[in-house]
Structure formats: C-alpha cells, structure tokens
Amino acid sequence: MSISKNQLHGTALPYRPQKTRLLPKSHKHSIKRHFVYYAVTLTAAFSVFSNKASADLIVESAAERDRTINQIKASHFLSQATFGPTWSQINDLADEIESVGETRALNNWITEQFNIAPTLINDELVRLVEDTGRDIQSDLDVNTQGFQGPAPYRDYAVWDRKLTAPDQLRQRMSYALSQILVVGDSNVLRNRNGWRGTSIYNDLLLNNAFGNYRNLLEGIVYSPAMGEWLDSAGNQRTSVNQATQLTRFPDENFAREFLQLFTVGVFRLNDAGQVLNNSGTPISGARDTPAELYTNETIQEFARVFTGLNYSNFPGGNTSFENRFFYFLEPMVMDNRFHEPGRKTLLDGFRTPGGAANGERDIDLAIDNAFNHSNCPPFISRLLIQRFTTSNPSTDYVSEVVRIFRGPGTTARGNLRRVLRTILMHPEARDSLEITSTPEGGGRWRINVSINDRLHGKLREPFIQLTSMLRAFEVRSRDTNVPGSFRFRNSTGELGQFPLDADSVFNFYLPDHQPVGRLQRNNIVGPEFEIFTPTRIHSLANIIRNTMNNEGVNANRRVFTHPFGRAGAADIRVASVLNRISNADSVLNYLNILFCQGTISENALAGYRDVLNSSISDAEKASILVSTILSSPSFAVSN
C-alpha cells in the first residue's frame, strides 16, 4: 500500500525573532520598555495556544459589566462561525444573549443562518464580468479569445462573498469543506471555460453546506472541476492496445483520494477519532502498528468504479470520449461503453453486482460503501472541528460530533446542519473562556477573562486573520470601473492560502502537522502553523501596518494596502477607534472584545496604555494599537 501524505508530518522552520520599529523615531525610546511589536515574533511567542495569562477589562458600572460579558461571549462565538465579527453583529448577538440567555441566543443565530439563501460565487462572477461589457457566453470558447480577465474575476467574487455575504456561517462551512474536498485553481481551471469551473464547484459546496454529506459526495464525484483536478474525467476501463499489446488500467488518482481524504482516511478509527491497532485498541506509542483500512488492491477496485465519466458535451465541440473538450458548466456524464464491467470488491469485502457495465449504479454503491463505513463519521467530524473551533479536540468532543453524524434516532446519517450545530455549541467550544468579575470601588468593575484549557483553540488561518480586520472595519470598494467589486487577486503568495487555491489535494496544511518545539514535544498538532512561516507572518503584519498608516480622504479612512490587487481598490473605516482614543479603557476594551475576545494579556495592555499616554497624534496611536493587536498572539490564536 502506498504511504499517505497524512503520515508525513511536516515541521516548521526554527524561528529567529526580529524587531520592527513602528513608532516615529522621536517617540521610540519613551515607550519601548513596554511596547513590543509582535509582527514577526509570533512563532516564538506561542507556547501553545499558549497558556496565555488572564486579561482584565475595566468598566464603569454593573450594567456595563453585564453588557461587556455578553459582548465577549458574542465575539467569541462569531469569531468561530464567521469570517470575522463586526461590532454591530457583536452587539446584536449580545442583546439576544441578554434577552433569552446564551445557549438559546446562539442556537437562534445558527437557525437564522441556516435559513438564509446561499450567496453564490458564480452569480457574482457573472455580474462582474458582464459589468465590463463582456458577453459571458462568448467566453465558453476554448481559448477565451485572448481575454485575460476571467480568472481574476473569480478571485474578486470570492473576496466579495467572504467579506460581505449575509450567510456567513454557510460561507465558513463551504470554506471548511473546500479544505477537505479539495479542488485547486490549476492552469486549466484558470483558463478556457474553466475560469468558471472552481466558482461552480464552490457553489456546489455552498448549496450543500447545510445538507447531507452523502449527497455532497455524489456532487463532487460528478463535478467536472474535480474530474479535471484528480483525473477522473475521461477515465476509461481496462483495455489492451492491440498494436503494442500494452494494457491500460483505470487511473487511480481520484479513487485514492476519495478514500483517504474525502471519506474514511487510511487507518481504522474508533468513535473518538483515535487510531486503532490490529487488536482494535488505540495505538500506544511509536512501535504500535496502526490497522490499515484497505490495501492498494481496494484502491484499484474503486478506480474501476470511477470509469466512464467525462465532461458533458461542449456546445459545438468534439463529442468523442477520448477528445472531449473541457466543459465545466454542467456535471460530468457517464458513458457505459468506457465503464469497467464486472464486480468490484470495495471496503470490508462488499461487492458490487456483476453483469453489463452500469456506471451510475456502481458509483452509487461505492459512495454508499464509503459513506456508511464506520470510519467516515470520526474522520470527517475531526476535520470539521479543526476548521471551526480547536486543533486538538478531546475524545469526548469528537465522540459527540460523531454520534450526531451517525444519525441518532430517526435523524439521517451525515446531516451537516446537526453536525455543525454540535461543533459550535459543544461545551468544549463554548466554555473555553472563563469570565469572572470583581468590584473595583466607585461603581467600577474589573472583568477577568482566562483560558480554561490551554490545549483548546487553534491558530486563526492567515486568510481569516485578514478578513477579520477587513470586516471589523467595514471594508468598502473604491473601484469606479466595476462598482462594488473588490479588485483583489488571490492571496496565496502572501498568506499561503486562498479559497480553492491549494496547490495539492492535501490542502494548504496537513491536519496532523506539528510545529517544531513545545507543540511537537507534547504531541499537539497545529495545522495552520505549516503555512504561517516567518515570511508570511511578516507579510500579513506589513499588510496590516501599511493599511493603518495609509490615510484616505481623511483620518477616519485608511486605504487597504496589499500586494495582491489594484492600489487603492478599497478602504476601511477606523472612526470607531478614533472616537474612543481619548478614553484608554474604552478603546482598549473595544479592540480587545472585537479582535481578541477579551484575552489580551495585562502586560500587553500596559504597553498599549503607554502608547495612548504618549505625545504622538491620535491617528498614529490608532495605527499602532490596531497594527500591534492584529499582529499579536492574542489575536492570532483563537480560543
């Protein structure tokens, strides 16, 4: 059996901390004792998620105390369920928590999100292209008539949906699923009519984000984008070349990833997600041997199932199976002439019927075989938990999500609505912060926020770190050519990721990646650290810093400055910071709740107070505060 890449744990490079000066030189020495710019020292600062010191917020009254505690709870939840909370969303949810209690309020929010119609990528893509005066139908031409625009417009549409769509939970779920059922923007998908291929694939994930996982699996099997990405389009039955007497066998690429990445994994799991040995007990050490689920022969049998699929007929194109044109706008179709006939032996010895070739029947049975396998619930449940709440879920957490995935009672197996609700509402997700308060005298209160479990939490993905800033400060397009368009290209070069732009089916990072150092020594995983290298830490910090230092029409606006799009294509509103800058408690509480869910340490807060007490301008103070908080461990690590 071939070695799975999931068995190859990558390591992060040792990190050499550097210092970066943000303050004007004349003010540097007055506060340098307390103020440290964290931008390029995150890796060194994390001592896992990171046993962070408790943090305090000071408020003026008991009523404000209650309000602030509800805001922290709202921000904590929304940071897990959206591409970044806005202050108005935090306040709306805090109002609901005050009215009906935390559990009911959060469940109500989830239900409301379930009921919002999908905000699709392809719709926005078509609008953006048509607004340029381009006839979108003409771009079905194989060579796109030299039009360079389509691929960037896919990127513009993605930015719009992630930053502004009202169905934020659906957008987050589709993003999570896109990191499990991976398709990337390969050269073909970014050219020809494939420039809409990944958009339509993204919409497949959006439309099924709250549906059934089995139905989603069927959708990706017939997806032309997946067919091109993993070579299942045009995959043919076993045949012998009569001239050379060489035998051509079905391509195994899609079959292998369908098993090891999309459904059951490689090793046998229990319901807690633990890898089992051949005796059926959890492995206990490096010398213990994991129980493999299947052999390479099983993969070959699944490859025989996934034969006969090809692109739907391209309008006016070649209709032969071997020379079919790329066509990404319709699902692939089965041609039984090229489907492998006969019985196929699948997982746990299940065999399909024999007889004449019947590709659609065989595919249905193969999907059912993998979806109904005992490994599918724990394998997929753990991956989804990692994308939303914590990289290292407890066995109890995984077990409960698995129980829901399996379909208790009359509930259908693979109900993603119930699975997602359980992930977000599980006590391990909701109770990771401990919030207490004590009176300070004079009516004032001190609110303390501490981390209940140092192993709970995850590094925020770099892409979500950036979207969180942009959403929090009400990013707006400044583009006059295509109104409402965020003219940003994909951010993979700078941040290591962009939706549907992984360069491998193994996603941007491995789910079991362990960075060198304390995490690895304690057998703790941190997937996102694999791409959060020193170079990318610096890149993200520079984007934030340069934006905050780049005033627009007035100090209340800062031009979004980044290396992956048109200069001056958008700006953010920072009036909410400037309006509070004269009151240290007010501005620090605001930024602490909005970005860090109240977890900024006391040492860091002392440094920020020194910034606020310095003689630099209010605009400079705002720039320094925002830049440093958004480059700090308190923001980068989500608890």
pLDDT digits (tens, 9 = 90+) for 94-141: 999 999 999 999 999 999 999 999 999 998 888 887 777 776 666 554
Residues 562 and 537 in one domain: yes
Domain membership flag for residue 578: yes
* Residue 317: predicted pLDDT: 63
Say what the alpha-carbon torsion angle 342, 345, 346, 348 is, to the nearest 10 degrees.
Answer: 150
Tell me the pLDDT band of 28, cut-offs 50, 70 and 90. very low
pTM of the model: 0.90
Give bridge partners of residue 451 from the DSSP assignment.
Answer: 433
Overall average pLDDT of the 515-521 stretch: 88
Q: Is residue 491 part of a domain?
A: no
Would 228 be classed as within a structural domain? yes
The three-state secondary structure class of 471 is: helix
Residue where a domain terminates, one of 51, 83, 115: 115
Comparing 41-55, 287-301, 542-556, the range with the smallest average pLDDT is 41-55
Q: What sign has the CA pseudo-torsion 231, 236, 240, 242?
A: negative
pLDDT in tens, 374-386: 999 999 999 999 9
158 and 241 in a common domain: no
DSSP 8-state symbol, 461: P
Residues 96 and 204 in one domain: no
Dihedral of CA atoms 26, 27, 33, 39 in degrees, nearest 10, equals -100
Residue 616 within any structural domain of the chain: yes
Residue 278: count other Cβ atoms within 10 Å of its Cβ.
Answer: 12
* Three-class secondary structure assignment of 237-273: CCEECCCCCCEECCCCHHHHHHHHCCCCCCECECCCC
- Per-residue pLDDT tens digits for 53-65: 567 899 999 999 9
Based on the domain organization, do 315 and 303 belong to the same domain?
yes
In this structure, are 453 and 587 located in the same domain? yes
Domain assignment of residue 141, yes or no: yes
End-of-domain residue from the set 50, 85, 115: 115
Q: Is residue 492 part of a domain?
A: no
Q: Are residues 226 and 336 in the same domain?
A: yes
Do 417 and 455 fall into the same domain?
Answer: no
What value does the mean pLDDT take over residues 281-309?
A: 94
Alpha-carbon span 266 to 293, nearest angstrom: 6
Helix (H) or strand (E) holding 74: helix 62-81
- 541 and 470 within one domain: yes
Residues 218 and 316 both lie in one domain:
yes
Please indicate, yes or no, whether residues 346 and 312 belong to a single structural domain of this protein: yes
In a domain, 628, yes or no: yes
Helix (H) or strand (E) holding 623: helix 618-629
User: Do 173 and 290 belong together in one domain?
Assistant: no
Among 346, 371, 396, residue at a domain's last position: 371
Does 185 fall in a domain? yes
Instruction: Report d(CA 325, CA 205) in Å as an integer.
Output: 24
Note the pLDDT tens digit of each residue in 328-345: 889 999 999 999 999 999
Both 244 and 346 in one domain: the answer is yes
Per-residue pLDDT at 139: 54
Q: Domain limits at 237? A: 213-262+284-371
Total domains, the chain: 5
Contact 604, 614 (CB under 8 A): no
pLDDT tens per residue, range 454-472: 788 999 999 999 999 999 9
